Amino acid sequence: MSKNTGKKKGKVMWGVIYVVTFLVFFLGSAIIKLTYNPVAINIDWNDSIGKSYTDISYGEKEQNKFDLYVPADTGKQTYGLVVYLHAGGFTTGDKSDDVSMLQYFTSKGYVAAGINYTLQDDNNPEASVYTMSQEIKNSIPVVVEEAKKLGYEIDGIAMSGGSAGGCLALLYAYRDAETAPVPVKCVIEAVGPSSFEPDDWYGLGENPEAAAGLFSIMSGNVIIADMIGTSAYQDAIKDISPYMWVNETTVPTLMAYGKQDKICPFGTVKYLINALDENHVTYDYIEFSHSGHGLQNDNKQYKQYLEKMDEYLARYLGA
């Protein structure tokens, strides 16, 4: 066998590895999404609680839509906005998955918005975590303006989400908050990837070709194996790595992670915790010791997360 033939076969092998890895992560997240609901709250929704307006456009792409939920109480001068971004591994999911969550926030007196973003699929192979985050960035001024048209003046935003939506919520709160039409007050998220270091992702630190392939897809940048472990790699993944954007002005953060998580590897959260500590940012971290991506096996921590969520919203957005 010639050396060139061997090299070609090696490239094919690594290509298969990173594609399989990509599918394991994203399809696994899609399956979890069907049962994943860190805040299982059901509201007896009716006109005495609020109204919903669905499929409002914020851009030209098919998935550039949002749903807006407004409280029945129209007597306040200003309102807090809670944005909840759906889960689904960046490849599936929809704002309609989070109706109960959005209704819950509205029942507490907040304006709430569920926002769709262009997913990475056969129809949109160029979509990446970065392009999704840019769509969220572009959507927020439209959401705030639409609320204003309906008579709800927004004076603060809480970003929130689960899994993929958690990552996107962190990115907006940390990276894009200065572009927000009104101040971002806090971020609340569960099991959202905050870092993309190969050693933490399925042992990809030992498979640089596989790591380069997977994180090229996620970042939308061309990453080659030789970049892994260098400043060039850090530059390539910065725009999708929430922890890299933490500084002294970062907003208070509530986060929950499952220690047994194999979808969003548990090791990724340490970078976020370290960054928050180093910059003296207010945060609450709730660890679900017996749970995976669905946070399903720790009832005490589950209750604590719900209570802290309400506490954060009341403290930073106002009751």
Residue 130's H or E segment, with its range, is helix 129-149
Tokens read off for 165: 């939506």
Alpha carbon distance, N-terminus to C-terminus of the chain: 72
Burial class, 42, CB count within 10 angstroms (exposed 0-12 / middle 13-18 / buried 19+): exposed
Tokens read off for 300: 């005490």
pLDDT along the chain (319 residues), means of 10: 43 47 52 45 91 98 97 96 96 95 96 97 94 98 98 98 97 97 98 95 90 94 96 98 98 97 92 98 97 93 94 92
Do residues 234 and 281 make contact, with C-beta atoms less than 8 angstroms apart? no
What is the CA 230 to chain-centroid distance, rounded? Answer: 26
Sheet holding 111-115, edge to edge: 50-57, 65-71, 111-115, 79-85, 154-162, 184-190, 253-258, 283-288
Nearest to 213 by CA among 17, 74, 6: 17
Do residues 185 and 316 make contact, with C-beta atoms less than 8 angstroms apart? yes
Distance CA 175, CA 140 (A): 14
Main-chain phi, psi angles of 22, to 5 degrees: -55, -45
CA distance readout (Å), 75 to 151, 152, 156, 239:
10, 9, 17, 40
Distance CA 156, CA 318 (A): 9
**H helices of the chain, where?**
3-33, 99-107, 129-149, 164-175, 208-219, 231-237, 269-278, 299-317
Q: What is the reported pLDDT for 22?
A: 52
Residue 111's H or E segment, with its range, is strand 111-115
Tokens read off for 25: 């992560």
Q: CA gyration radius for the chain?
A: 20
Residue 316 DSSP code:
H
Distance CA 99, CA 77 (A): 26
Residue 238 DSSP code:
G
Q: What is the reported pLDDT for 203?
A: 84
